[in-house]
Amino acid sequence: MIGFYTLVMKEIKRVLRIWRQTLVPPIITTTLYFLIFGTLIGRRIGDMNGVGYMQFIAPGLIMMSAITASYTNTASSFFLSKFVRNIEELLVSPLSTHTIIWGYVLGSVIRGVLVGILVMLVALCFISFDIHSWAVIILTILLTTVAFALGGIANAIYARTFDDVGIIPTFVLTPLTYLGGVFYSINLLPEFWQGVSRFNPIVYMISGFRYGFLGISDVSLYYTFGVLILFVVVLYAWVYSLISRGVGLRS
């Protein structure tokens, strides 16, 4: 537990030490989204699924910020540990692979949740919420940030340079997020593209999170939590296997 606590505190202190890079950018970006998409464009769009457009996009913006924060944290922190070769000290220490993984993951979950809270406070400057279910909100954001924190570790393991760390967020994560129903309901799409959208896991995450706030959802909660749990289990098994075999870490 001492090793686990140390890893978690290292990650938390890293986030707080460089708060201008970790906490401020999501606030600025979200404020711009609300000003442009919510205030200017939202007036012309009107309601979406029975609620105001700004209320509709707010949960998606919160989740988008939390996803990016949790993924980026493990990807950059784990790769930096690999780059300066202090990851080798962890591998030869008495710490188990499970402890190493959860130390990094929990630190990223805390950053993701903290960013989500800050973005929600920004949202409250523009709109008000009548929370439908706190349990769904908390469970969805925790499972989502855990899944993407694990994905960040996998990215860091395979990355050879700092440029490689940014490839997945730029060319995979960002497109999937924007096509995940942040700014629109997938029910507005033609039937074929609705079917295609259901292969995007972020659709389920944003839809479940929106249900917690507004009580509306594009997909069933059973599918949402089923997909989230499946992703966490698969990614954890994959990351555990990579670290246990020393893939990308012992060469």
Q: What is the pLDDT of residue 210?
A: 93
Residue 159's pLDDT is 87
- Enumerate residues 6+ apart whose C-beta is below 8 A from 158: 164, 247, 248
Residue 251 has pLDDT above 60, yes or no: no
CA dihedral of residues 47, 214, 216, 48 (deg, nearest 10): 10
- 207-248 pLDDT, tens digit per residue, is 999 999 998 888 889 999 999 999 999 999 999 999 988 887
Tell me how far apart the alpha carbons of residues 231 and 123 are, in angstroms, rounded to a whole number.
28
pLDDT, average across residues 12-26: 89
Contact 136, 205 (CB under 8 A): no
- Dump pLDDT digits (tens) for 46-75: 777 778 888 888 899 999 999 999 999 999
For residues 112 and 70, the answer to whether their CB atoms sit within 8 Å is yes
Average pLDDT, the chain: 88
CB 155, CB 149: distance < 8 Å: no
